Every structure is written in structure tokens, then in C-alpha cells.
């Protein structure tokens, strides 16, 4: 990490979110939750039904990741990001419910950028294809919800210096050159 990487201790505060801009390099330390397609479907269905959620979304950073099984000497297997666009249908509702940031790879729908701006959130980008490397920043992992989903279960990860870039900021900024400007 370069000297201009911003060290962020989770949970994210509104002040920290407001100080970050698209393209900033960030190192996250603290608690992050994994969740992919099936878990997102269950979370949003529970929200719509007014049911209690298995985790508190307020302040919870969601990492679009389905890690591989851990080898005996590791806390987790490869833990790279999955394609974020698959969660686009769920993301605005989760930002509205208090999720301050999501982590994944690739460009997102305009509605996600608008949700980041409206609800004061971020979309953070992790390097695709680097799951083994990214796993080295995870110091603890445990399944906390939906164990029947296997790799797509929600896991609580403790990370130390997880490297990400701010893809979308709360100001409407984007690192993706073909994103249209938000009004």
C-alpha cells in the first residue's frame, strides 16, 4: 500500500465516508460481512416482510464474496470479490437499511450510484482474481447466518488492512470512465 492509502477503522462513520472520493485507496480494518446473491435475496425478502434480520445492517460493510474452504493452517480460503452487478437489484434497499458500503468488483447500475449518494454510502472495489492474496488480510471468519447456503452463507470477517479502492463515493463520483454523470 502506498503512503497515500487511507487507513479506515470500521465501522464506517459518516465523516469518514464524506472524506472519501472515487479513486481513493483505502485499507479497511474491523468487521465486514460476506453476502452474495442468495443471502441478498433472503435479506431483502426479510426486510420487505418486516422480519428481524440475522445481522444488523446499520453500519455493516457487505463484501460480495463466497470464500473457498479454509486449509488447516488458514482461517479462510480464497476470498476474492464476485461480480457486483448481480447484487444491483438488492443494493439500493440495503443502503436504505443502513449498509454504509459494499465491496465487490466491476461497474454497477446507475441506481446503485444514486443510492450511494442518497443514503451516504460507498461502493468499494477489491481486485478480482486475487482471492488468495485478499484472504491474507482476514484474521478471523465465522458463519453467522444462512449456513445452508454453503459458500454463500453470511460470514463475519475480521479484516486488517483489506485493500480496496473507492469505486463510487457519496458525492456521485465514479472511477468507471463510461458512467454517466449523476444529476
DSSP state, residue 70: P
Q: Does residue 175 form part of some domain?
A: no
Q: What is the pLDDT of residues 79-133, one digit of tens each?
A: 999 999 999 999 999 999 999 999 999 999 999 999 999 999 999 999 998 999 9
C-alpha Rg value of the chain to the nearest Å: 15
Q: Does residue 129 form part of some domain?
A: yes
Question: Could you tell me the CATH number of the domain that includes residue 140?
Answer: 3.20.130.10
**What is the predicted pLDDT for the residue at 147?**
97
Q: Does residue 33 form part of some domain?
A: yes
Q: Does residue 37 form part of some domain?
A: yes
Cα 141 to Cα 155: distance, rounded to the nearest angstrom: 6
Cα 10 to Cα 81: distance, rounded to the nearest angstrom: 19
Q: Does residue 113 form part of some domain?
A: yes
Diameter of the chain measured on Cα atoms: 51
Q: Does residue 51 form part of some domain?
A: yes
Name the pLDDT band for 182 (thresholds 50, 70, 90): confident
Q: Decide if pLDDT at 1 tops 70.
A: no
Cα 138 to Cα 116: distance, rounded to the nearest angstrom: 26
Q: What is the pLDDT of residues 28-63, one digit of tens each?
A: 999 999 999 999 999 999 999 999 999 999 989 999
Name the pLDDT band for 7 (thresholds 50, 70, 90): very high
Range of the domain at 152: 6-168
DSSP state, residue 83: B
Q: Domain count of the chain?
A: 1
Q: Does residue 180 form part of some domain?
A: no
Mapping DSSP to helix (H, G, I), strand (E, B) and coil, where does residue 25 land? strand
DSSP string, 40-56: HHHHHHHHHTTPPPSS-
Q: Does residue 43 form part of some domain?
A: yes
Name, in order, each residue with C-beta under 8 angstroms of 183's C-beta and a sequence gap of 6 or more. Answer: none
Name the pLDDT band for 3 (thresholds 50, 70, 90): confident
Q: Decide if pLDDT at 25 tops 90.
A: yes
Mapping DSSP to helix (H, G, I), strand (E, B) and coil, where does residue 93 land? helix
**What is the predicted pLDDT for the residue at 181?**
78
Q: Which of 21, 64, 78 is nearest to 152 (CA)?
A: 64
Q: What is the pLDDT of residues 58-87, one digit of tens each?
A: 989 999 999 999 988 899 999 999 999 999
Mapping DSSP to helix (H, G, I), strand (E, B) and coil, where does residue 96 land? helix
Mapping DSSP to helix (H, G, I), strand (E, B) and coil, where does residue 158 land? strand
Amino acid at each position: 500500500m502506498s503512503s497515500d492509502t487511507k487507513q479506515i477503522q470500521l465501522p464506517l462513520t459518516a465523516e469518514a465516508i464524506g472524506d472519501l472520493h472515487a479513486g481513493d485507496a483505502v485499507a479497511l480494518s474491523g468487521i465486514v460481512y460476506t453476502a452474495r446473491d442468495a443471502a441478498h435475496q433472503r435479506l431483502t425478502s426479510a426486510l420487505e416482510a418486516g422480519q428481524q434480520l440475522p445481522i444488523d445492517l446499520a453500519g455493516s460493510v457487505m463484501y460480495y464474496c463466497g470464500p473457498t474452504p479454509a486449509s488447516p493452517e488458514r482461517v479462510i480460503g480464497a476470498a476474492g470479490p464476485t461480480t457486483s452487478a448481480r447484487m444491483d437489484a438488492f443494493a439500493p434497499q440495503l443502503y436504505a437499511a443502513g449498509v454504509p458500503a459494499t465491496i465487490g468488483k466491476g461497474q454497477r447500475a446507475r441506481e446503485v450510484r444514486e443510492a450511494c449518494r442518497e443514503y451516504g454510502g460507498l461502493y468499494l472495489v477489491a481486485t478480482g482474481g486475487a482471492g488468495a492474496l485478499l484472504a491474507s488480510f482476514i484474521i478471523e471468519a465465522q458463519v453467522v447466518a444462512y449456513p445452508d447456503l454453503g459458500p454463500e452463507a453470511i460470514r463475519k470477517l475480521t479484516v486488517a488492512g483489506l485493500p480496496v479502492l473507492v469505486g463510487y463515493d457519496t458525492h456521485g463520483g465514479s472511477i468507471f470512465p463510461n458512467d454517466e454523470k449523476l444529476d
